[in-house]
Amino acid sequence: MNTAELTALLAAFGEKPVSFVLPDGGRIPDHAHITEVGRIDREFLDCGGVLRRTSFCCLQAWVADDTEHRLTAGKLVAIIGRALEPLGLAALPVEVEFEDGLISQFPVVSVSAGDAVVLHLGTKHTDCLAKEVCLPAPGATENCCAPESGCC
């Protein structure tokens, strides 16, 4: 889900509280703050030597001791809205960064609403982006990452 889609959905729910559901069904505590809205740009070479670029909007969730705090959909729209234009976030996918033992980033995969607006978070996975270089063709017996194969 990109930032423009998320803010349009949230804007329809005004003062409803926002809740974040983790991929395992757990929740970020309801009194979490969104302390940063950032644009994360990543530039890298894949194992096949191709230069790649990715970007996403990152919302950092932080839990403080003020357990009476509740984030509303309207407040979250306002927080994201301040960063939308200066950081060029509208078309970027949204992820939520949260620390619970480890700092993790979760893509926002869907939004539902009832008593609260619920942002459902998904998982990220590693992948080889140059499988045609690094993986053997079906039935091949040679080592796919031999010194002359082109695989890093």
Task: Give the per-residue pLDDT at 137.
Answer: 72
User: What's the confidence (pLDDT) of residue 138?
Assistant: 73
Alpha-carbon gap, residue 17 to 31, rounded angstroms: 10
Q: 92: buried, middle or exposed (CB in 10 Å: 19+, 13-18, 0-12)?
A: buried
Q: Kind and range of the H or E element at 83?
A: helix 73-87
Number of alpha carbons in the 13 Å side-chain half-sphere of residue 62: 8
Residues of the chain with pLDDT under 70: 139-152
Which residue in the block uniquely carries the two structure tokens 């705090």?
69
Residue 72 pLDDT: 97
pLDDT of residue 146: 63
- Ranges of each domain in the chain: 3-134
